[in-house]
Amino acid sequence: MKCCVLCFLICISFLATAHSRDEIALVIKCDGNAQYRQSEQDWNKLGIGKRLEDGDEIKTGKGAQVTIVFIDDKSLMKIREESQLILHGKREEKNIIKKIGQQLGQLWFKVTNQETQLQVETPSGIAAVKGTEFYSLVDDLGNTTIIGISGIVELFNSLGRVQVGPSQTGKAGKKSIPVVEKSEESMDWGTDSGTLNELEIEFENENGEKKTLKLQYK
C-alpha cells in the first residue's frame, strides 16, 4: 500500500496549553485496522484525532498505517502495518522525554528539534536520537535494523554501540554486537507524497477555554 508524506502546520501556542499532563501525542492519519489500549485493558479502534497518553500500546493490522505527531515539538512517527509498540513520555517543563517500546514491525521518525530526547527501545537494542530522520525495523526474532536518512542515530546494547548516519544501516541482535554498514537499499514509504488535507481538533485547557489545533497534512 502506498504511504503518504505528512506536511502539517500546527498552532504551537495551542499545543502548549491544550492538553492534559499525560497526553503526549495526537493521531493525525489512520488508514486500515489499527488499535490501542492502556495498561493491558481491552483493545479499542484507533482513529484520527485520538490523543495518546503515556503508556498507550498500539498495534496495526495488515495494510494499515498510522501517523502521529508529538505535541511538544511536532516530531513525527509513522507506524507501518503489522507493528506493535508502547508509547512512553515524561514531561519536563514544555518538553517530553520520549521512549518508544518497539516490539515488532516498522517505524519512521522525523525528529524536528535538536534538543528533543527520543529513544526507541527494542528487544535487542536502544536507538538514541536527536534531530534526525530514520527508520526502525524489528523482526519476529527481535533483531533490530536502523536505517539512517539524516542526522545521527546511536544504536547500542550491552555488548557495544555504533553511530548510524545518512545512507547507513545499523543492525543489532539480542546476543550480537551492533554493527553499521552502508545501506544497500533505500526505504521511502515514510516520505511518499499525497493530497493535502486539513484537520481541526478542539481542545479545552485547564481554565475551561476552548482552543483549536489546525493541521494540514498529506
pTM (two decimals): 0.83
Residue 136 within a domain = no
Residue 53 within a domain = yes
Q: Which three cell numbers stand for residue 199?
A: 484537520
Q: Which pLDDT score, from 0 to 100, does residue 2 have?
A: 39
Q: Which pLDDT score, from 0 to 100, does residue 94 have?
A: 77
Residue 72 within a domain = yes
Q: Which pLDDT score, from 0 to 100, does residue 12 have?
A: 36
202 pLDDT tier (thresholds 50, 70, 90): low
Residue bearing the bigger pLDDT, 37 or 114: 37
Element counts in the chain: helices (H) and strands (E): 1, 19
User: Residue 51: enclosing H or E segment and its boundaries?
Assistant: strand 51-53
Q: Which pLDDT score, from 0 to 100, does residue 17 have?
A: 43
pLDDT tens for 125-142 read: 999 997 799 999 999 999
Number of domains within the chain:
1
Q: Which pLDDT score, from 0 to 100, does residue 191 have?
A: 82
Residue 33 within a domain = yes
9 pLDDT tier (thresholds 50, 70, 90): very low
Q: Which pLDDT score, from 0 to 100, does residue 187 have?
A: 86
Residue 120 within a domain = no
Residue 96 within a domain = no
Q: Which pLDDT score, from 0 to 100, does residue 114 have?
A: 73
CA 191/CA 46 separation, integer angstroms: 22
201 pLDDT tier (thresholds 50, 70, 90): low
Domain containing residue 5: 1-84+191-218
- Tell me the pLDDT of the chain averaged across its residues: 84
Q: Which pLDDT score, from 0 to 100, does residue 105 have?
A: 98
Strands of 114-176 (E only): list them.
118-122, 125-129, 133-138, 144-150, 153-157, 160-164, 168-172
Residue 49 within a domain = yes
pLDDT above 90 covers a percentage of the chain that reads: 63
